Amino acid sequence: MRSSNYVGISFYKGQIQLAEIDHGKKMTVTVLSERSTAIDFTRDTNFSADHPQLFTFIYELEEMIKQNKVHSKTISFALPTESLYIQVVPVDATLQGADLTSHLHWEFEQFFPNVPAKDFIVSSYPIPVADEKRKHVILVGVRRGLVAFLKRAASELRLAVHLVDVDHFSAEKTIRHCHPEMLKETFLLLGSRGDGLDASLIFRGNYVDYRGFAVRQSEDLKNNIIAYRQYLEAKIGSQPPTKALLYGFGISQETLQPLQREAGITPVLLNAVRNMTTSKHVYEEYVRESSRFAAAIGLALRTR
């Protein structure tokens, strides 16, 4: 019998986040868990299926799965944006199939000339626009070795890899399920990852922009939000929305009020378990701070 449980894994701040959702009669969050990892997913560029720390990672995952009695037969991974190459690029709207793939590889080589394109899986997220001749996509380059590393780990654990996605973009499914009222709005999506900020403009449920910022001190979060709004104003030629949906680390109801006052936004904290039942076995602190699991939950919500 096919399992109705799906697992999502994300990597933030030297930690592994695991979320499991049971897609049975009631959508139920059965597991939220977090542990430290010895693997540096943000800076290591030498991943492969034979990486020397492969079995360390397998042990870490296996321990989480056993301790939390995870039932899923599949696993999905949300990759940290620091490990990826991401750029918004224009493309001819008529390009499809092999022609589009070839053009994306060419664009990747133009933006990242010192990076060997053959070592990357290049894909894109379409940005919906009205222009019939020209469109933009969010170009993403993922190291092949990193994907091979994760697939080998899953195989050793006898799990099938369901999805591999970008953590910031994985949050989309969480928004659709947990905050459907926002899908008709234009707003900022801001993901705090401790030492970085992922920022996007969301239009009717679609990502239409992406920028990443470094966060080295407490003031940087506020300053980066201001900088992103200024960048958007110059790009779109009008005032960007003030409404902002925030998720991640160091984000709580207590931090929202200063951001509203100092960054000029109307902040909303993403509740990543809203509109779902939560198992009584889930640690209450993780339920309260569910926004840090937004990417993992987003993947666990996806059944295809």
Q: pLDDT at residue 1 above 60?
A: no
Average pLDDT over residues 83-108: 92
The amino acid that residue 4 corresponds to is S
Residue-averaged pLDDT of the chain: 93
DSSP 2-43: ---EEEEEEEETTEEEEEEEEESSSEEEEEEEEEE-S--TTT
Nearest to 275 by CA among 157, 178, 159, 131: 178
Cβ neighbours of residue 173 under 8 Å, at least 6 residues apart? Answer: 298, 299, 301, 302
Which CATH class for the 1-179+272-304 domain?
A: alpha beta
- Are the C-beta atoms of residues 240 and 203 closer than 8 Å to each other? no
What residue ranges of the chain are covered by domains with CATH 3.30.420.40?
1-179+272-304, 182-269
The confidence band for 251, taking pLDDT boundaries of 50, 70 and 90, is confident
Considering the segment(s) 182-269 as one domain, its CATH architecture is 2-Layer Sandwich (3.30)
Q: Residue 212 pairs with which residues in a beta bridge?
A: 198
Cβ neighbours of residue 286 under 8 Å, at least 6 residues apart? Answer: 32, 33, 34, 293
In terms of Cβ atoms closer than 10 Å to its own Cβ (0-12, 13-18, 19+), residue 103 is middle
Helix (H, G, I), strand (E, B) or coil at 71: coil
pLDDT in tens, 145-188: 999 999 999 999 999 999 999 999 999 999 999 999 999 999 99
